[in-house]
């Protein structure tokens, strides 16, 4: 490659990496795997070094991408630099140069700087582009583990990573009916949650802030118990823990133990619930680290260690194109089985048409695959690049026409047939799911057969299958008994609660809890619910402006109204569990449950009792919390600490049971009585 070609490549890489940064930091989504970004970035650095040529907007000179949002902006007191990185443990040993260090997880969320004054949370600002961030104080107050008040009364500034755990991510995604509309990863979901204009959305996402740096402490003369934090990185962690913060997991290390310590972290990846994309190494001697200064882009007191992804070579056998309720058709690569990180892998999402084209995928090609962050299968590279994969012009589900829609970031394939069964199947699958009408035995595969045979066109048809009993019995895989069981299941499911019906309609953002809240607010009256105005919806605690608008938009569509009313005609709405004669003794009260329970089967059962008595169960302690239920009332957990700060009573499970009417107490307690 001559110098002219190298400069051309620099321009290409600069545009590509800036585009990836913009979509990642500003829009909360990815257009390429981390391994590709790192590879392109290293290539750019090498070419800039070789040629002496560098664009003014090169990512090697810019810390992040300029943010654009409706949130207020604020300039950081000092630039938030990104870290230099390596994948070599030997390079870390050289970097340490004989000094003691602290090794911790490199968390994958959204970085925030949080300020406390006089012991009170005053401000939270995202990293943004490193120079200017977005003010998200109103949302940070709803971070599940972040103290609202702390014992220290001076000025404290900390830096942490706002994260959503894998388990919470999976729970939230389960409430999204359309598979294609589900969030791609916890980092994207967390970014969108932290940067919400509606704090109530943040409150429901179980965002946590895990602190990884103590930035500054002022006013220590008012608190002599504050240790000298200038000479010990880990002492800062210890002090912050005593203040009630959750700090990142960390260990001491040196040149003799670093490789063993890295392996220890790596072994925990499959069971570690917080998203992480590597490790961070920082000098234990804070003053020494600061004395090293910084480069234009990186500080010299810490460095990131990125996991060396395990690659496997295999053969691409086909691309499956999967339809969805929105019409989006997703490509999935199917290849010969390979072992990665201890599991057998045969499939990987290709995400969109752009990636198919960029990798020049072809059937029979030799590809390298890996697990992103050792979890999600991805294609790293195509070694053959035959490019023979044809983008289908017909929907794989209905055979109708498709179109590729291109924007500035990606090309996506859509089915444009409004009557595509895939769109219907996903909608019907939600309506008959366990949390909705719960029609036992009506799987997506069975739905597909019934729709293909013309037995189901609308929701109400599910409960009119008796007229097709003979035809259903004659279908492949069925018989008289199977047909009878299916019809019986539908009949049984037709006696249901209104909130299940509302949830099953698939109104964007309205999960099971939201459906229950709406039904309670409008007295389980379908007509009132369908005619609800924005102000009435906003009075409901679980409904914010976005969800209210989604609700109104849904029932503003005559087609949606007709489908809902037709279905309602064939259903019988029984009294909701909280609609009977039980006195609503917990009305207006909010409970938070933490730790193990001993008398109830699980915490869900406790929440059900709370809701039955008119109360609300929340996942985080706030000023609106009435009681924190924790069998270990002396615990120094973040929830207990926050409850103490806010003056919220901490009660045991037995204390809670004593508040209940006799008929709602657990059986073992009643039998003891």
- Please provide the DSSP assignment of 469-504 as one string: HHHHHTSTT--HHHHHHHHHHHHHHTEE-HHHHHHH
Residue 582 token pair = 């039980």
Separation CA 542–CA 552 (nearest Å): 15
Q: H/E element holding 313?
A: strand 312-322
Is-contact 313 325, C-beta < 8 A?
no
| Residue 151 Cα distances to 120, 244, 457, 660, angstroms | 9, 9, 62, 35
Query: Tokens 């657990």 map to which residue?
Result: 666
| Dist. CA 143–CA 162, nearest whole Å | 8
State how far the Cα of 168 lies from the Cα of 187, in Å rounded to an integer.
12
Residues in the chain, how many? 673
Please state, as a whole number, how many other Cβ atoms lie within 10 Å of the Cβ of residue 539: 10
Residue keyed to tokens 């005593």: 242
Closest alpha carbon to 205 in 192, 224, 217, 215: 192
Strand, helix or coil at 16? helix
Sign of CA dihedral 265, 268, 270, 276: negative
Q: Please, are residues 178 and 326 in contact by the beta-carbon 8 Å criterion?
A: yes
The enclosing H or E element of 217 equals: strand 208-218
Cα separations (Å) of 189 from 164, 168, 173, 226, 376?
A: 8, 10, 10, 36, 16
What residue has token string 């005619």?
531
CB-based burial of residue 206 (10 Å sphere; 0-12 exposed, 13-18 middle, 19+ buried)?
buried
Task: Give the integer Cα–Cα distance in Å for 79 and 115.
Answer: 16
CA gap 472, 391 in Å, rounded: 35
Beta-carbon contacts of 72 under 8 Å, excluding residues fewer than 6 positions away, are 134, 135
**Residue for token pair 């917080």:** 274
Structure tokens at 133: 């961030």
Distance CA 162, CA 108 (A): 8
331: its two tokens? 């490509």
Residue 10, H or E segment: helix 3-21
Residue 106 is a catalytic residue = yes
| DSSP letters spanning 253-306 | E-TTTHHHHHHHHHHHGGG--S-EEEEEEEES-HHHHHHT-B-SS-BSSEEEEE
Given the residues 6, 49, 100, 106, select the one marked as catalytic: 106
SS3 364: coil
Q: How far apart are alpha carbons 58 and 640 in whole angstroms? A: 47
User: Catalytic residues, which ones?
Assistant: 106
């Amino acid at each position: 490659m001559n110098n002219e070609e190298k400069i051309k490549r620099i321009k290409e890489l600069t545009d590509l990496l800036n585009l990836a940064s913009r979509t990642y930091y500003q829009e909360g989504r990815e257009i390429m795997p981390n391994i590709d970004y790192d590879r392109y970035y290293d290539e750019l650095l090498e070419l800039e070094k070789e040629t002496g040529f560098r664009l003014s907007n090169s990512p090697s000179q810019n810390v992040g991408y300029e943010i654009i949002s409706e949130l207020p902006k604020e300039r950081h007191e000092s630039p938030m630099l990104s870290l230099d990185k390596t994948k070599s443990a030997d390079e870390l040993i050289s970097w340490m140069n004989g000094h003691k260090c602290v090794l911790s997880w490199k968390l994958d969320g959204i970085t925030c700087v949080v300020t406390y004054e006089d012991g009170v949370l005053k401000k939270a600002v995202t990293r943004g582009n490193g120079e200017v961030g977005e003010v998200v104080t109103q949302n940070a107050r709803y971070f599940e583990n972040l103290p609202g008040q702390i014992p220290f009364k001076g000025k404290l500034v900390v830096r942490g990573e706002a994260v959503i755990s894998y388990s919470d991510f999976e729970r939230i995604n389960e409430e999204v009916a359309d598979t294609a509309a589900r969030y791609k990863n916890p980092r994207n979901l967390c970014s969108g949650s932290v940067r919400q204009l509606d704090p109530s959305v943040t409150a429901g996402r179980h965002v946590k802030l895990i602190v990884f740096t103590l930035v500054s402490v002022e006013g220590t003369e008012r608190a002599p118990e504050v240790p000298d934090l200038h000479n010990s990185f880990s002492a800062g962690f210890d002090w912050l823990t005593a203040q009630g913060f959750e700090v990142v997991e960390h260990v001491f290390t040196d040149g003799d133990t670093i490789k063993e310590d890295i392996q220890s972290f790596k072994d925990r990846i499959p069971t570690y619930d917080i998203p992480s994309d590597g490790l961070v190494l920082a000098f234990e001697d804070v003053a020494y680290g600061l004395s090293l200064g910084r480069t234009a882009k990186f500080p010299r007191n810490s460095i990131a260690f990125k996991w060396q992804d395990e690659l496997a070579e295999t053969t691409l056998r086909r691309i499956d194109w999967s339809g969805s309720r929105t019409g989006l058709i997703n490509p999935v690569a199917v290849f010969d089985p390979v072992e990665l990180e201890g599991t057998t892998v045969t499939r990987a999402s290709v995400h969109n048409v752009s990636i198919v084209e960029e990798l020049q995928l072809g059937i029979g090609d030799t590809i390298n695959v890996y697990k992103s962050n050792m979890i999600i299968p991805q294609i790293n590279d195509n070694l053959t690049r035959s490019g023979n994969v044809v983008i289908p012009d017909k929907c794989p589900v209905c055979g109708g026409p498709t179109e590729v829609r291109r924007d500035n970031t990606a090309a996506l394939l859509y089915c444009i047939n409004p009557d595509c069964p895939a769109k219907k199947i996903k909608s019907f699958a939600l309506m008959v799911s366990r949390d909705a009408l719960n029609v036992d035995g009506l799987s997506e595969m069975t739905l597909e057969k019934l729709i293909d045979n013309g037995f189901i066109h609308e929701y109400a048809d599910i409960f009119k299958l008796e007229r097709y009993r003979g035809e259903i019995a004659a279908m492949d895989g069925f018989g008289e008994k199977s047909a009878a069981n299916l019809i019986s299941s539908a009949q049984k499911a037709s006696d249901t609660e209104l909130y299940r019906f509302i949830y099953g309609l698939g109104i964007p953002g309205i999960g099971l809890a939201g459906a229950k809240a709406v039904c309670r607010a409008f007295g389980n009256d379908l007509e009132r619910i369908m005619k609800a105005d924005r102000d009435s919806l906003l009075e409901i605690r679980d409904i914010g402006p976005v969800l209210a608008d989604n609700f109104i938009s849904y029932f503003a569509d005559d087609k949606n109204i007709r489908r809902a009313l037709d279905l309602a005609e064939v259903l019988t709405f029984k009294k909701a569990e909280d609609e009977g004669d039980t006195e609503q003794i917990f009305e207006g009260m909010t409970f938070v449950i933490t730790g193990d329970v001993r008398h109830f089967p699980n915490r869900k059962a406790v929440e059900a009792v709370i809701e039955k008595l008119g109360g609300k169960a929340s996942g985080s302690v706030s000023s609106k919390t009435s009681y924190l239920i924790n069998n270990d009332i002396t615990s120094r957990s973040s929830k207990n600490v926050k409850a103490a700060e806010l003056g919220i009573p901490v009660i045991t499970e037995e204390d809670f049971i004593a508040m209940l009417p006799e008929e709602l107490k657990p059986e073992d307690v009643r039998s003891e009585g």
